[in-house]
């Protein structure tokens, strides 16, 4: 059993009460972390606020240098961080199509380096004999970060790095289910950053609520469920905090009639099942034309039955366990509801016997809109496949969902697919791909999938306020 400490004002902080962190491959605890109270949040926010003036005044080149040093620390400690991620999330070290703990740490390094290189130059609106008008981007102050359990380290990096790059200081609260890799990273980071610039508190959900409502926090960035996002908006209204919310997704993919089912099935399977389907922007509803339907669902089921499910520490494992017992039960509940309503379960469909929270990849045929497994975000290793005959009608059905994170169109005619993709009501649309994000392109949701964007210049701007400077010349 490994014990971790919080880091507040550059110092390790322990508590009298602790939380156990469970390895989902065994269902047994493997680590303990502090159970913070509201006083710990107050200390962390006070430390971040005290550190803000000096940090925000640091030359940009110096902040960039320190972010690159954080990337170096991630790289130097990559094997340890990978193992911690696998132990707490269940995801394999490598994983299906190379999407696992190694990819998560590698992505964290890449995002840190790209973010370090971003710039927010002064924009000149007017410069004539009368006046010069400039637009400056200024840091907000203290940023509160609340992260989920599915990509705990990578999403922490997505929150932390633009905040620091823009000149803000941070208090982060990781999910109580997966806090250990983030705790270890913040420990490493505090050997590089000035005290108070990056603080971490761990605890139950009430600690997240305390952060959301704290009057000395200027912005909240949250990744997680839509219901929790709504609560954060309400709590943040007390001092009109800025918000970036990346919330739930129920992404639709539409296959056009010109594709070869055998050629496209492996890519569709990877888009739906990487990280066990526990990704906001996974492909979660697949619409297939009637002419291709039976061949494609059969091919998807064949791939599913050949996928290696097991402990993520084993080198041949492609998919690990579902991260927690409650999510496992929810996934199975959706599958059973579909089964009871006449859907065909072509693969999987039952939790695996033995220890851990294992559920094999499950392909559901004869799914229809209105089934819970179609209308709700499964966030697990389940893919409902829905028939269609009319393209315009199926685009309307895909858009009917309250979520609007991502969507995709699959075709041999990329130009035609792009025309269809632009009709989807979502923040990101892909052609012949789904869920691929990158650190220099904005990513965010519409409708009930969130507010604001992350990544690149657009994401960095969300950690700043605008100040307009007008200098009269006569």
Going residue by residue through the chain, which has 474 residues, state the pLDDT in tens, using 9 for 90 and above. Answer: 899 999 999 999 999 999 999 999 999 999 999 999 999 999 999 999 999 999 999 999 999 999 999 999 999 999 999 999 999 999 999 999 999 999 999 999 999 999 999 999 999 999 999 999 999 999 999 999 999 999 999 999 999 999 999 999 999 999 999 999 999 999 999 999 999 999 999 999 999 999 999 999 999 999 999 999 999 999 999 999 999 999 999 999 999 999 999 999 999 999 999 999 999 999 999 999 999 999 999 999 999 999 999 999 999 999 999 999 999 999 999 999 999 999 999 999 999 988 999 999 999 999 999 999 999 999 999 999 999 999 999 999 999 999 999 999 999 999 999 999 999 999 999 999 999 999 999 999 999 999 999 999 999 999 999 999 999 999
> Is 426 a known active-site residue?
no
Strands (E), 88-141: 123-127, 131-139
Can you state the percent helix, strand and coil of the chain, rounding each to 5? 40, 25, 35
Question: Residue 386 has which token pair?
Answer: 């829905």
Rounded Cα distance between 381 and 379, Å, is: 7
> Is 246 a known active-site residue?
yes
For the chain, list the domains and their CATH numbers. 2-247+449-472 (3.40.605.10), 251-438 (3.40.309.10)
**Among candidate residues 137, 369, 91, 141, the one with its CA nearest the CA of residue 252:** 369
CB of 15 within 8 A of CB of 36? yes
Question: Residue 92 has which token pair?
Answer: 């394999």
- Please tell me the number of Cα atoms within 13 Å of 314 on its side-chain side: 11
Catalytic, out of 88, 176, 280, 282: 280
Q: Is 467 exposed, middle or buried (0-12, 13-18, 19+ CB in 10 A)?
A: exposed
Catalytic, out of 246, 377, 461, 462: 246
Q: Is 217 helix (H, G, I), strand (E, B) or coil?
A: coil
């Amino acid at each position: 059993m490994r014990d971790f400490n919080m880091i507040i004002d550059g110092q390790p902080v322990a508590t009298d009460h602790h939380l156990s962190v469970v390895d989902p491959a065994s269902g047994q605890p493997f680590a303990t972390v502090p159970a913070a109270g509201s006083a710990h949040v107050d200390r962390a926010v006070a430390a971040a606020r005290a550190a803000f003036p000096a940090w925000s005044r640091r030359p940009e080149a110096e902040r960039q240098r320190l972010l690159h040093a954080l990337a170096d620390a991630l790289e130097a400690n990559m094997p340890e961080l990978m193992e911690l991620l696998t132990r707490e999330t269940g995801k394999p070290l490598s994983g299906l199509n190379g999407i696992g703990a190694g990819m998560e740490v590698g992505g964290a390094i890449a995002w840190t380096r790209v973010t370090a290189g971003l710039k927010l130059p002064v924009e000149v609106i007017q410069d004539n004999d009368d006046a010069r008008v400039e637009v400056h981007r200024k840091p907000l102050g203290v940023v509160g970060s609340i992260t989920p359990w599915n990509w705990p380290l990578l999403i922490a990096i997505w929150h932390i790095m633009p905040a620091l790059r823009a000149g803000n200081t941070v208090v982060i609260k990781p999910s109580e289910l997966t806090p250990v890799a983030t705790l270890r990273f913040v420990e490493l980071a505090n050997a590089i950053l000035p005290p108070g610039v990056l603080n971490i508190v761990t605890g139950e959900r009430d600690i997240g609520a305390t952060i959301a409502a704290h009057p000395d926090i200027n912005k909240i960035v949250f990744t997680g469920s839509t219901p929790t996002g709504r609560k954060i908006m309400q709590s943040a209204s007390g001092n009109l905090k800025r918000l970036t919310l990346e919330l739930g997704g129920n992404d639709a993919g539409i296959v056009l009639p010109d594709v070869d089912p055998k050629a496209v099935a492996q890519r569709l399977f990877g888009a739906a099942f990487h990280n066990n389907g526990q990704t906001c922007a996974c492909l979660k509803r697949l619409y297939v034309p009637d002419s291709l339907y039976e061949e494609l669902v059969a091919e998807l089921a064949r791939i599913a039955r050949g996928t290696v499910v097991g402990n993520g520490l084993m080198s041949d494992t492609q998919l690990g366990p579902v991260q927690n017992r409650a999510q496992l039960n929810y996934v199975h509940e959706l599958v059973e509801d579909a089964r009871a309503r006449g859907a065909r379960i072509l693969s999987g469909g039952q939790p695996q016997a033995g220890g851990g929270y294992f559920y094999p990849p499950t392909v559901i045929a004869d799914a229809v809109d209105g089934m819970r497994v179609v209308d709700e975000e499964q966030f697990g290793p389940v893919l409902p496949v829905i028939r269609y005959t009319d393209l315009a009608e199926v685009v309307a059905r895909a858009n009917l969902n309250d979520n609007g994170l991502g969507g995709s169109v699959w075709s041999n005619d990329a130009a035609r697919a792009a025309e269809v993709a632009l009709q989807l009501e979502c923040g990101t649309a892909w052609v012949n791909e789904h869920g691929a994000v990158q650190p220099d392109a904005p990513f965010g949701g519409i409708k009930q999938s969130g507010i604001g964007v992350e990544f690149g210049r657009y994401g960095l701007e969300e950690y700043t306020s605008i100040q307009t400077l007008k200098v009269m010349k006569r």
